[in-house]
Amino acid sequence: VAGEGAGGNYNALIADDVRDPISGALPLRSFACTIERAAAAPTLSYRPFRVVERQAEAEDIVSLTLAPADGESVHSAQPGQFLNLRLDGVTRAYSLITPAERVPDLYRVAVRRIPGGALSGRLADLPLGTIVEAQGPSGTFLLPRRNEFPIVLIAGGIGITPFMGYLESLTGSAQEPRVVLYYGCRNGATHAFASRLADLAASLPNLSVRTHFSRSREGDRCDRRARITAADISDELIRRRARIYLCGPEAMMDVLTKDLLARGVPGFEIFRERFRSPEAPVESNGSPRTVRFARSGRTMTWKPQSGTILSSAETIGIGIASGCRVGQCESCAVQVISGEVRHLTESPGALDGLCLTCQAIPMTDLVLDA
């Protein structure tokens, strides 16, 4: 379904003023609607994009502007979504930092150089004109541009990126919610998008930006010289049932979530975006398992030290589609024909016989439809 300014989210087609005041639910069954067949949605397959601009945003963060190299238009995105980028067979997900629905035929992403990273360092240093493959936009970490409740954004380091796309999508309309951004980084050298955030705060009347430096240097300017804590969120925002969005290191989000729950924030009003999988030990005393890939006709022996099904398959040259590698985008989902798996992180709802290979390990011998 689709509607003006609402994309394909059916809930967004109905005005917020008819929500149940207690549950926030919409009385969908009491609304009549006309259903028409929509045009076929574009296939989000990998496409070639050319790097047309590269800009340093902090000492370890670079933004890349990508233009389609196949002559086609870019697909529209929602604030908070990401692209899967692929270079020489290595794929990683990167949040879009461009405004939703108001962009020419360009995408922008930000990349943090990670020592020993499989892709980040190479992307950050790509010469202009280089072709990379991109798939998307994808992702369910969606941020509302219209909401009766305040929006609190808490970012740590490179976790600012999904929020940049959101803030760039705001227009200053009175219908937009009050937004408070808490942004934590080490110091002024690692403070990404500092100038742009200042411009946005000056131009958007509903936006407040509060910067925290954990290891500030002499001359650094910030709002607080400390890490972000749940105590930094005002009582007024919590009383008004602010929706709280977290993106940053897993440990930071774990502590904030725990402390926000202790302050009475309902768990269903806290949303998290993960950039890396939480550490989850693979049982080292498990038995080797045989994993057969029915479609490709390949078989491998999985061992506890092999890691996830996806990573172990890649080491022997079995290609499985993947994206975020943290169990959210579901790009790596494959059908389990026989056998059982365990996911190292909480799976996103019912999988109906699928497994997320980036988070799954075999508990028995397996046959997968891949």
Model-level pTM greater than 0.85?
Answer: no
| pLDDT confidence band for 362 (50 / 70 / 90) | very high
pLDDT of residue 4: 46
Read off the tokens for 104: 């020419």
User: 37 with 51, same domain?
Assistant: no
The 3-state DSSP class for residue 301 equals strand
> Considering the domain boundaries, does residue 15 fall inside one?
yes
Say if 188 falls within a structural domain. Answer: yes
Closest CA to 270 of 95, 180, 148, 151: 151
User: pLDDT digits over 72-106, tens only?
Assistant: 888 888 899 999 898 988 888 899 999 987 666 89
Structural domain of 247: 151-273
Q: What is the mean pLDDT of residues 39-49?
A: 67
Return the number of other C-beta atoms located less than 10 Å from residue 50's C-beta. Answer: 15
355 and 298 assigned to the same domain: yes
Looking at every residue in the chain, the average pLDDT score rounds to 85
- For residue 284, being part of any structural domain is answered with no
Which pairs with CB-CB distance under 8 Å and at least 24 residues apart come from 236-239?
Answer: 237/150, 237/152, 237/180, 238/263, 238/264, 238/265
Whether residue 281 has a cis bond before it, omega within 30° of 0: no
Q: Are residues 112 and 53 in the same domain?
A: yes
Q: Between the CA of residue 85 and those of 114, 119, 342, what are the distances in Å?
A: 16, 9, 27
Mean pLDDT of 311-316: 84
Task: Work out how many domains the chain is built from and give that number.
Answer: 4
Q: Is the pLDDT of residue 127 over 50?
A: yes
pLDDT in tens, 214-236: 999 999 999 999 999 999 999 99
Of 273, 305, 325, the last residue of a domain is: 273
Last-in-domain residue among 273, 302, 334 = 273
pLDDT confidence tier of residue 359, bands split at 50, 70 and 90: confident
Token pair recorded at residue 250: 């897993």
Q: What is the mean pLDDT of residues 246-268?
A: 95
Q: Which of 28-32, 296-300, 363-367 has the lowest mean pLDDT?
A: 28-32
